[in-house]
Amino acid sequence: MKRRTFLALSAAGFAGAALPDWMARCFAGDIPPAEARKALRDAYQRAKERGKPLLVVVIPTADDAKALRGEIAGQFFTHGGEEVHADLALCEVVCATVADAKASIPFPRGDEEPLFVLVEAAEADVSAHAIAPDLQVRVDESRPDLENEGVIEREHRARIARIAKALRARVAPDVATLERRARSELRSVPEAERAKVEASCHETAPDDVAERFAGAIRLRAEKGEIPRAKAVARLARVADARYVKSSPPGARWGQNTGCGVRIEGELDIAVACGMGFVPKLSERFLYFFAKEK
């Protein structure tokens, strides 16, 4: 069976430095394959049908940028916590390059590669908005080691918080936005069924309801109609199952221990053990792959 060319490894230990030969060979290749472009189109159609926004995790063009972006997105998805996951539950999520997105769905003009783009797929006049928080950290990551592990983790958690704030500002900034999202979700079912669906939108909703009508549940929670903490936890479990325990469309989850890299369902790459220290929050990352050779 053909192996997909490696395009994204955790950048921990290599930020700001030239890639070693073994990693450079792994990075050789082109941008995502036809199946990734299909995943993008399918996610957009699913968002429209379900009355949800589409959150595009932007895959950079440059190979070394893919590695760092995969690390940052991996940290955010894995360690963002319940509030982040509850916001992700409001969206359909997909990973894609700017080129593929522009060719397939409404997307912002220009060549910028923000962390995320939110496409309001359910609106009559579809719009797309860049989400571009500050991704810089104030610590030298080119030589990570146990001595500055605590500093690196604090900087990474601060970055996660900045990303979370930027995502919230676009996805669920206020009750008015949640009302709009809830209406869009409910319009996706026949009018005769809407009252029954609304009644099922609570903090103990079954998986299918919590996934399909996350906006309606979140709205009731923010208005104080149901316990907010329990509702957020319920929605967080939905997003965790879809995008953390499973891979978001267009990407694969990978793990980097410093002694090797494991890509779920793909391949293991072993390197000399002890080659470098991998910060705690960087052990899991999103891997963006290329077409088969």
**In this structure, what DSSP letter does residue 2 have?**
P
149-181 per-position pLDDT tens digit: 888 889 999 999 999 999 999 999 999 999 999
241-290 per-position pLDDT tens digit: 999 999 999 998 988 876 777 777 665 555 555 556 677 788 899 988 65
Q: What is the pLDDT of residue 95?
A: 96
In the chain, domain spans: 21-171+239-287, 175-227
Name, in order, each residue with C-beta under 8 angstroms of 247's C-beta and a sequence gap of 6 or more. 253, 264, 286
* Tokens representing residue 133 in the block: 């928080």
209-250 per-position pLDDT tens digit: 999 999 999 999 999 999 999 999 999 999 999 999 999 999
Name, in order, each residue with C-beta under 8 angstroms of 35's C-beta and a sequence gap of 6 or more. none
Cα(194)–Cα(197) distance, rounded to whole angstroms? Answer: 5
Q: What is the pLDDT of residue 267?
A: 59
Q: What is the CA radius of gyration of the chain?
A: 19
Mean of all residue pLDDT scores within the chain:
85
Q: What is the pLDDT of residue 223?
A: 98
List 261's β-bridge partners, or say none: 256, 269
